[in-house]
Amino acid sequence: MAGADPSRTKSARRNRRFRRRLRTRIILSFVLLGTGLTALFGYMTDYTRRHVENQLVEDMMNRNIDEYARRVYLDPTGSPDMPVQQMFARVVRPDKFAELRLEQPDWYDLPNGIHNISGIDEAGRAFAYKLAVRKTSDEWFFLAYDTTETIRSETQLKRALYVAVLLFSGLSLIIGWWSASRVMRPVSELVQRLRAYHGGSDPQPLAPHFPDDEVGQLAETLDDYAGRLTRVVQRDREFNADVSHELRTPLAVIKGAVELLLSKPEVDDRTRVRLQRIQRAEQQCSDLIGALLLLSRNERGHGVSDVVKVAESLLESHRAQLGGRQIELRLEGRRDFVVDAPESVLSVALGNLIGNAVKYTQQGEVVVRLAEDGIEVIDTGPGLSQEDASQLFKRGYRGTHAGHSQGAGIGLSIVGRLCNLYGWTVDVHPGPVCGVVATLRFSQTAE
Average pLDDT for residues 37-65, to the nearest whole number? Answer: 81
**Model pLDDT, residue 401:** 57
Whether residue 446 is predicted with pLDDT greater than 60 in this model: the reply is no
Nearest-5° Cα angle at 318, 357 to 372: 60
Give me the residue spans of the domains in the chain. 1-196, 301-447
In contact, 390 and 375? CB cutoff 8 Å:
no
pLDDT digit string, tens, across residues 342-382: 888 888 888 888 888 888 888 889 999 988 888 999 898 88
**Model pLDDT, residue 85:** 52
**Model pLDDT, residue 4:** 47
* Three-class SS state of 126: strand
Type of residue numbered 15: N
DSSP state of 85: S
* Averaged pLDDT score across all residues of the chain: 79
Topology of domain 301-447, CATH: Heat Shock Protein 90 (3.30.565)
In contact, 333 and 342? CB cutoff 8 Å:
no
pTM: 0.51
